[in-house]
Structure 1
């Protein structure tokens, strides 16, 4: 991979870069020569302090802190990768989602990207170049009504926002893209598989099958790995993808059943 792509000297902000696909993306971008700044609420021991800023991006103030750190430490930005996302909403369908739950889903999955783009895109436009990658989800097409209605709706909003933004800034030299993962085998998803397995009286592999069945099946027969997500993001952020903008790339092992 290192011989194929070159991100040498690219000033890069990657949100949510301390675990899962975010951590894999941070590692790959560094390997390919990018100067990376990443953010989460707390730093892991493996991340050097100089490439990390602690912030709660679900708040206006947290986004302001990160935008300021990008200017102070990087002097601007060439690539932004919005990895941050997730859901803490309870199961139980639409009736279980009150005002607080809906606001939390939007504050985590939509507004950090909107706020950071608003702060940092003017610099990209001024320099006439840049790449913004929004990590959405296949759940905008395949919501799970029992548990992920709010998350799926927020990711759908992020996808439409990303498309609109791409049309506005592409003529100014800035590419805007989306990456839509399906199920990624992270530490958290393995823990979920283990919990489901225990409840069903099966092993971890059986727990994974439960998750795949809930998604309607994965033709590839397995989830994606964090490294595979990072590979796609690195390509799209590189100059080799120089004419690609406004599109969404699904990486889900074939989960989405339509073209």
Structure 2
């Protein structure tokens, strides 16, 4: 893919860029020539390459710190990729989710994208071009009621919001697309699998199999690799996808069983 795509000179913010699909996206964007700023709560000891700002995007203050860094480090933005997401909600179904847990899931999986868009899309509109990619999840259509009701609901909200946003800003030169992964084979980013492994006293690979079974199986026979998700994101951000907007692009190995 790198022989056919270029993001040369593009200015990109990638959230959640220190692990899993986010880290793979940062690495690929830099390989394709983009100037990249990424963010997480803390900077890993072995992190190098892309510009970095430490911020907690679940807070308004954290979002503002990232917006300030975009202007300081990049002087504007051409591509916004919101990879940030995850879940720490307890298992036990809907009854285990109190208001605190619901707030945490939406503060992590929905509001950072909304706030960053609100701050950064006006600059894209002013320059007449830009791409916004929201990483959602197949759970917006295939929730696991035992453990991911709140997470899936937040991702569904992000899905609907993204579609509405695309209808508003596409005519102004800003494309908005969604990437919806299934399970990604990344132990450092797959919190649910790690939690299942710990609670059941089994290995990570066995926990991934438990998740795949709960989804009814993955026809491809394996989760996606982080680089595979990054490849899709890079294509959608590139000039090879200039007529693609308002759409959801699923990368799940065939997990969703319906059309």
Q: Report the TM-score when normalising by structure 1.
A: 0.95
Alignment partner, residue 129 of structure 1: 129
Matched, 1:163 2:163: yes
1: CA distance between counterparts of 2:250 and 2:38?
24
Residue 5 (structure 2) aligns with: 5
- Residue 140 of structure 2 corresponds to 140
Aligned length: 259
Q: State how 1:88-127 maps to structure 2 within 5 Å.
A: 88-127=88-127
Relative to structure 1, the CA distance from residue 145 to residue 6 in structure 2 (aligned partners, 3 Å threshold; closer, same or farther) is same
SS at match of 2:13: strand
Whole-Å separation in 2 of the counterparts to 1:40 and 1:9? 23
Per-residue Cα deviation, 1:165-188 (whole angstroms, up to 9, x for no partner): 000000000000000000001124
> Residues 13 and 210 from structure 1, CA distance in 2 versus in 1: closer, same or farther, beyond 3 angstroms?
same
Moved over 4 A (4+): 189-205
Determine helix, strand or coil for the equivalent of 2:61.
Answer: helix
Task: Please say if residues 180 and 251 of structure 2, whose CA atoms lie closer than 8 Å, have aligned partners that are also in contact.
Answer: yes
How far residue 70 of structure 1 moved from its aligned partner, in angstroms, is 0.3
Q: Contact 2:18–2:44 at 8 Å: present in 1 too?
A: yes
Aligned counterpart, 1:52? 52
Once the two structures are superposed, what CA deviation does each residue of 1:179-202 show, in whole Å capped at 9, x if it has no partner?
000000112467865775687687
Offset of residue 106 of structure 1:
0.5
Shift of 1:2: 1.8
Equivalent position SS for 1:119: helix
Q: CA deviation at 1:209?
A: 2.1
5 Å-filtered alignment, 1:24-43, equals 24-43=24-43
The residue that corresponds to 1:226 in the other structure is 226
In structure 1, the residue matched to 2:177 is 177
In the alignment, what sits opposite 2:243?
A: 243
Q: Deviations over 1:94-118 (max 9, x none)?
A: 1111111001001000000000000
- Which residue of structure 2 lines up, in the alignment, with residue 187 of structure 1? 187
Mark the CA change 1:114 to 1:205 in structure 2 (over 3 Å): closer, same or farther.
Answer: closer
Aligned to 1:63: 63
Partner of 1:187, secondary structure, is coil
Q: Which runs of 5+ in 1 are unaligned?
A: none
Q: What TM-score does the superposition give when structure 2 sets the normalisation length? A: 0.95
Could you say what the CA RMSD is over the residues aligned between the two structures, in angstroms? Answer: 1.9
Residue aligning to 1:83: 83
Contact kept? 2:197, 2:206, Cα under 8 Å: yes
Q: What is aligned with 2:152? A: 152
Distance 1:89 1:26 in 2: 27
Question: Which digits, 9 at most, give the CA deviation of each residue in 1:7-65, with x for residues without a partner?
Answer: 00000000000001100000000000000000000112343386000000000000000
